[in-house]
Amino acid sequence: MTVYAIIGGTGLTQLEGLSLKDAIELDTPYGAPSAAIQRGEFAGREVLFLARHGHPHRFPPHQVNYRANLWALKQAGAEAILAVNAVGGIHAAMGSGHLCVPHQIVDYTWGREHTYFAGDIEHVTHIDFSHPYDEALRLKLIAALQALGYAYSSHGVYAATQGPRLETVAEVAKLERDGCDIIGMTGMPEAALARELDLPYACLSLVVNPAAGKSSGIITMAEIEQALHEGIGKVREVLGRVLVS
């Protein structure tokens, strides 16, 4: 059976329902991962879990050691990655609490360590990244959402921005013109690094706020925290269904 690793984002620094067997402390050629990898049983299935921002939540999106995180998960035995991301909604369908399984991504980040193929290497390597998310994993997430009856979108273009600040109204308007549906700060380089390690990777995005200019008021942390509180239980249910599928 496939060994799944779940990467938890904002609001998922612990995986409730995980019967913990052990916590794996690993070092990597790229430094330490955000947190110890938790190995245990979730929904009747052995699973690995890593808190992307650390536990407690302490690493902002631009300072997450994505290379160490993915490398450590592979070392720990992960064979596929289910990533959870809190995002802002651009498209009208992407209201707070909506769940999206993106099919494409546009990378607007800069200055991050974004590849394993750098430094003292023997030859240049290019990965095919035409379709950044594993389709089989995407279909499993979609099937789980459909079975649970939650409001969801089976496609979406994820705009990966630098953070840690939120975007301006003009920036969101540009992203919308670029064809983006949701905005997050952690989608890249995570997805590309998983591809470089030959790890199937898919993303479940929880919309926690309308993007700048997409509502009448300003974005508040209270609004985001409320959406996380209300939506993270749905995320756990979806993950549980995927793991037993």
Q: From the first residue on, what is the mean pLDDT of each consecutive set of 10 residues in the chain (245 residues)?
A: 85 68 91 93 85 88 97 96 96 95 98 88 84 98 96 97 95 98 97 98 96 84 84 91 86
Q: Does residue 120 fall inside a structural domain?
A: no
Q: Note down the domain range covering 32.
A: 4-114+128-244
Per the annotation, does 185 bind a ligand?
A: yes
Per the annotation, does 10 bind a ligand?
A: yes
**pTM score of the predicted model:** 0.93
Per the annotation, does 236 bind a ligand?
A: no
Q: In CATH, what number is assigned to the domain containing residue 51?
A: 3.40.50.1580
Q: Does residue 91 fall inside a structural domain?
A: yes
Rounded Cα distance, 121 and 101, in Å: 35
Per the annotation, does 109 bind a ligand?
A: no
What are phi and psi for residue 93, nearest 5 degrees? -75, -15
If you search the block for the tokens 């379709």, which residue do you land on?
Answer: 131
Per the annotation, does 164 bind a ligand?
A: no
Q: Does residue 24 fall inside a structural domain?
A: yes
Q: Does residue 174 fall inside a structural domain?
A: yes
Q: How many domains does the chain have?
A: 1
Give yes or no for a contact between 227 and 106, defined as CB atoms under 8 angstroms apart: no
Q: How high is the pLDDT of residue 13? A: 56
User: 56 preceded by cis ω (within 30°)?
Assistant: yes
Q: How high is the pLDDT of residue 42? A: 78
